[in-house]
Amino acid sequence: MSAASALSKSASKTMPESTTPALADPTAAKSVIPAGQHGIKEHSDGRFGYVPVQTRSDRFKSVQVADFETVTGREAVWKHSPIAKFTDLTAGSLDGSRYEIESTVSTDVSVEWVPRTDARIGTAGLPEERAAANAWSVFDDALAITVSGEEAKEITVTRSSLGNSARGAHTIIEAKPFSQATIILQNTGDARLSENVEIILGESANLTVVSLQEWNDSAVHLANHFASIGRDARLKHVVVSLGGSIVRVNPSVRLAGPGSDTLLLGLYFADAGQHLEQQVYVFHDAPKSRSRVNYKGALQGQDARTVWIGDVLIGNNAAGTDSYEQNRNLVLSEGTRADSIPNLEIETGDIVGAGHASATGRFDDEQLFYLQSRGVSEDEARRLVVRGFLTEVVQQIGSPELEARLQLAIEAELIGTDDK
Partner 1 sequence: MSVLEIIDLHVSVETDQGTKQILRGVNLTINEGEIHAIMGPNGSGKSTLAYTIAGHPKYHVESGSILLDGVDVLKMTVDARARAGLFLAMQYPVEIPGVTVTNFLRTAKTAIEGEAPPIRSWIKDVREAMTGLKMDKAFAERNVNEGFSGGEKKRNEILQLELLKPKFAVLDETDSGLDVDALKIVSEGVNRAKANTGLGLLLITHYTRILRYIHPDFVHVFVNGRIAEQGGPELADRLEDEGYDRFLVPSNVG
Shortest distance, CB of residue 332 to partner 1, whole angstroms? 11
DSSP per-residue letters across 286-323:
STT-EEEEEEEEEE-STT-EEEEEEEEEE-TT-TTEEE
For partner 1, the binding residue among 380, 395, 404, 415 (CB under 8 A) is 380
SS3 content of the chain, % helix, strand, coil (to 5): 20, 40, 45
List 193's β-bridge partners, or say none. Answer: 167, 221
Q: Is residue 374 a contact residue for partner 1 (CB under 8 A)? A: yes
Shortest distance, CB of residue 11 to partner 1, whole angstroms? 8
Q: Which stretch binds partner 1 (CB under 8 A): 20-28, 157-165, 269-277, 386-394?
A: 386-394
Q: Going residue by residue from 343 to 362, which x/- string records binding to partner 1, judged by CB under 8 A?
A: ------------------x-
The CA distance from 170 to 192, in Å, is 14
Number of residues near partner 1 (by CB under 8 A): 28
Neighbours of 60 (CB within 10 A): 11
Q: Is residue 388 a contact residue for partner 1 (CB under 8 A)? A: yes
Among 235, 238, 217, 219, CA closest to 227: 235
Residues in 2-31 at the binding interface with partner 1, rule: CB under 8 A: 10-12
Q: Which stretch binds partner 1 (CB under 8 A): 18-26, 175-183, 286-294, 366-374?
A: 366-374
Shortest distance, CB of residue 410 to partner 1, whole angstroms? 12
Instruction: Return phi, psi of residue 366, to 5°.
Output: -70, -35
Q: Is residue 367 a contact residue for partner 1 (CB under 8 A)? A: yes
Q: Is residue 40 a contact residue for partner 1 (CB under 8 A)? A: no
The CA distance from 180 to 415, in Å, is 37
* Pick 293 or 330: Cβ nearer partner 1: 330
For partner 1, the binding residue among 7, 66, 384, 404 (CB under 8 A) is 384
The CA distance from 410 to 171, in Å, is 27
Shortest distance, CB of residue 37 to partner 1, whole angstroms? 14
Q: 147: Cβ–Cβ under 8 A, 6 or more apart, which residues?
A: 108, 109, 153, 173, 174, 175, 176, 179, 180, 181, 183, 205, 207
Binding footprint of partner 1 on the chain (CB under 8 A) = 10-12, 330, 361, 363, 365-367, 369-378, 380, 384-391
